[in-house]
Amino acid sequence: MNQTAPQHRYEILDGLRGVAALMVILYHFGEGFATSPVDQFMNHGYLAVDFFFVLSGFVIGYAYDGRMASGRLSAGGFMLRRVIRLHPMVILSVVLGAVAYIIQGCVQWDGTPVPLPYLIGALALGLFLIPTLPAAGVEVRGNGEMFPLNGPSWSLFFEYIGSILYAVWLNRLGRRALAVVTALSGMGLAAILIGNLSGYYHLGVGWTMADYGFIGGFLRLSFSFSAGLLMSRCIRPREIRGAFWICSALIVALLSVPYVTPDGAPSVLNAIYDGICTLLVFPAIVWIGACGRTTDRASTATCAILGELSYPVYIVHYPLMYLFYSWLWTGGYGFNEAWPVCIGIFAAILILAWTAMRYYDTPVRAYLTRRLTASRK
């Protein structure tokens, strides 16, 4: 990509990020009614994270490669910008998670009471995005989550890892070397799929430190982030009409596919499906989205709204999901009884995300940017 050309904003990619974030919410609703990954509706919603990583690599490469190569931006300056962009909402989400946990009664999922110091410890770790260890007292929900007060923080943990790798190493690699990194990461990702790392032949790994979750999460980041970064350096934009709607339909369809199995048992066919989506289709969707342009006010406005809400929706929705799961499982409700509540919570998530963005995240990031980055490379 020509780094001297005027940069523009990829509105369609912003919009696609929002579409994927909404699909994550629907996927997490499905978790409340599922007995295993095999019978969960919106079954492949977890793959939205891999799509996010491709987008992240592409956008970071496009926005920062030129400045990093010319010395106009240092590794420290880049990381400061990433912290300002990501961390205010991380902090808010963990605080909301602690509030939700207190409302639930400060107990693990099996009803075991949790002492207050453990909750305080979990809150402190979450604020600094430090993962908890399996079976530690601060793993307050008792199911092995890296971030028990806000489970989706795990992907932000890996996002930070990707940013650090970009700042100190990946930005220096040429296309060929980056292609090698991408290929090796892809082979590793394929290996954990076919090798059934998760136990269900799927890519829904990364939330836990145990059971190879860290390895799985890192490989998900490594391939998708590197692939996006490589694409940002190689893409030659073409005019693709209707790119936003084409890509949105693909994302919704791909993430909605039921678990792929011929007999209702965990199947390698599902691993193949996950691999095709992650290794081939998601990079293709990002390429199509990057080649397209919004050509009317409705599409432009839709992409702008979805883009603005995408990160807040993703990072703050799960504390409300914790409360939903507690209500659902305690009462033993089925979907026919719970769907009106699902609609209400979905609306509440959107309102919470917009409020957090408008009155907290945007002004805090603007303040930090003025104070911390004005005179720093």
In three-state secondary structure terms, 208 is strand
At 2, the pLDDT band (50, 70, 90 cuts) reads very low
Alpha-carbon span 20 to 33, nearest angstrom: 21
CA-closest candidate to residue 31, choices 352, 318, 340, 343? 318
* Over residues 22-26, mean pLDDT: 97
The torsion angles phi and psi of 79, rounded to 5 degrees, stand at -65, -35
Judge contact between 146 and 207, C-beta under 8 A: yes
Tokens of 355: 């409020």
Alpha-carbon span 231 to 54, nearest angstrom: 9
| Whether pLDDT at 248 is above 60 | yes
Judge contact between 53 and 163, C-beta under 8 A: no
Alpha-carbon span 5 to 136, nearest angstrom: 51
Q: Determine the pLDDT at residue 240.
A: 83
Alpha-carbon span 179 to 229, nearest angstrom: 10
Q: Determine the pLDDT at residue 84.
A: 98
Q: Determine the pLDDT at residue 3.
A: 42
Q: Which of the residue ranges 72-81, 174-183, 295-304, 306-315 would you say has the lowest mean pLDDT?
A: 295-304
Q: Determine the pLDDT at residue 70.
A: 94
At 4, the pLDDT band (50, 70, 90 cuts) reads very low
% of residues, the chain, pLDDT over 70: 97
Q: What is the mean pLDDT of the chain?
A: 94
Amino acid identity at 11:
E
| Whether pLDDT at 9 is above 80 | no
* Over residues 304-327, mean pLDDT: 97
